Amino acid sequence: MIVTTAELFRCAYGKYAIGAYNINNMEQTLGLFRGCAQAEAPFIIQISRGARKYADKRMLEAMIRAAESIYPESIFAVHLDHGDEETCYDCIDSGFYSSVMIDASHHPFEENVAITRRVVERAHAKGVSVESELGMLGGVEEDIKIDEGHACLTDAEQAKEFVAQTGCDSLACAVGTSHGAYKFKGKQSIHFDVLEAIFKRLPGFPLVMHGSSSVPQEEVRRINTAGGKLDPSACGVDENEYLPAAKLGVTKINIDTDGRLVWMRVHREYLRDHPEDFDFRGAGRVYMAEYANFIAHKSEKLGCAKQL
């Protein structure tokens, strides 16, 4: 059943985080629903502008509705990931989305406020909630690449101001994570001091953590052993930090890269090990099962397993 993002946040706040996973195709969609059914976990399906271009927004909606009827126990919200203003309006008007993210964080503060306010107004009129972003994560998202030197962590006082001025429903904060497979070097991790400062200024307000894949070393090693060329120094967020972040108001945790790594590992290994095969469903079956297990595992780490 599709529920509002607000309802998922009300149940989770301060206790656990809801995993937000991107989908682009049928295998990801079925694997996600199956994994959440296994874990008895609520979840958020994220659709990026890239996904809407790749699979067509109508195909994505139809797949989600079909998966919903295959998994009638599922409880989830549908969310636009990293929207611009135009795409936010398209999603709000569609009546299908539970929430949208307006990502205007690369604009100066006042402009970010103005754009976000406009989206909030249109969204709230239709009962859709809005995630906005303040501060800048490193890495690549959509067509914007932010190098490490230009990433900037969210200022707690500004965050409070931003929420008051925009009326947004949740806030994506930059607390040291970044998109993609190369987040940290050595012992770096989430800046819990920054997160705690934001949590203290905005008690009760749902925070969102982007760039939260853990980039398992073993996954990277297997991909490379099967012919991949990922930088072996790639590393991500420690999964054991999801719950401590949730206790500090992080209610939605975005994970996409880790799922891409599962796909890459399964397909590289499958093709290596089955050179005679030309039925692509063999690899697809393995992938859906592996992706479901991955999602169930993440749900445990996020604390949202057995929360249906």
Which is nearer to ligand 13P, 21 or 96 (by Cβ)? 21
Angle, helix 192-201 to helix 156-166, in steps of 10 degrees: 40
State the helix-helix crossing angle for 85-94 and 109-124, rounded to 10 degrees.
Answer: 10
Judged by beta carbon distances under 5 to 8 A according to partner kind, the member of ligand G3H, Na ion, ligand 13P, none in contact with residue 51 is ligand G3H
Q: How many CB atoms lie under 10 A from the CB of residue 259?
A: 22
- Which residue in the set 49, 52, 210, 265 belongs to the binding site for Zn ion (CB under 5 A)? 210
- Residue 98 binding result from Na ion, ligand G3H, ligand 13P, none, given CB thresholds of 5 to 8 Å by partner type: none
- Count of residues interacting with ligand G3H (CB under 6 A): 10
Residue 93 designated active-site:
no
List 8, 44, 51, 248, residue binding ligand G3H (CB under 6 A): 51
Task: Extract the tokens encoding 212.
Answer: 């939260």
Q: Which does 103 bind (CB under 5 to 8 A by kind): Na ion, Zn ion, ligand 13P, none?
A: Na ion
x/- letters, 74..93, toward ligand 13P (CB under 6 A): -------xx-----------
User: Angle 58-181-173 (CA atoms, 0-180°, nearest 5)?
Assistant: 75
Helix axes 109-124, 156-166, angle to 10 degrees: 40
State the Cα–Cα distance between residues 71 and 68, nearest whole angstrom.
Answer: 5
Helix (H) or strand (E) holding 34: helix 26-39
Binding to ligand G3H by residue 82, rule CB under 6 A?
yes
What is the Cα Rg of the chain in Å?
19
Burial of 260 (0-12, 13-18, 19+ CB in 10 A): middle
Query: Annotation-wise, does 106 bind a ligand?
Result: no
22 is known to lie in a ligand binding site: no
Which three-class secondary structure string do you get for 90-126? HHHHHCCCCEEEECCCCCCHHHHHHHHHHHHHHHHCC
Binding of ligand G3H by 298 (CB under 6 A):
no
Determine if 141 is a binding residue for ligand G3H (CB under 6 A): yes
295 is written with which tokens? 């999602």
Nearest to 24 by CA among 65, 57, 72: 57
Q: Which of residues 253-282 bind Zn ion (CB under 5 A)?
A: 254
Which does residue 155 bind out of Zn ion, ligand 13P, ligand G3H, none, counting CB within 5 to 8 angstroms by kind?
Answer: none
Site size with ligand 13P, rule: CB under 6 A = 13
81, 155, 169, 258: the active-site residue:
81
Q: Is 152 in a helix, a strand, or coil?
A: strand
Name the site residues for Na ion (rule: CB under 5 A).
103, 105, 133
List the x/- string, 254-283, binding to ligand G3H by CB under 6 A: --x---------------------------
In what helix (H) or strand (E) does residue 173 lie, and over which residues does it extend? strand 170-173
Active site residues: 81
Applying CB under 6 A, which residues contact ligand G3H? 22, 48, 50-51, 81-82, 141-142, 179, 256
Annotated binding site: 82, 103, 133, 179-180, 210-213, 254-257
Chain contacts with ligand 13P (rule: CB under 6 A): 81-82, 179-180, 210-213, 254-258
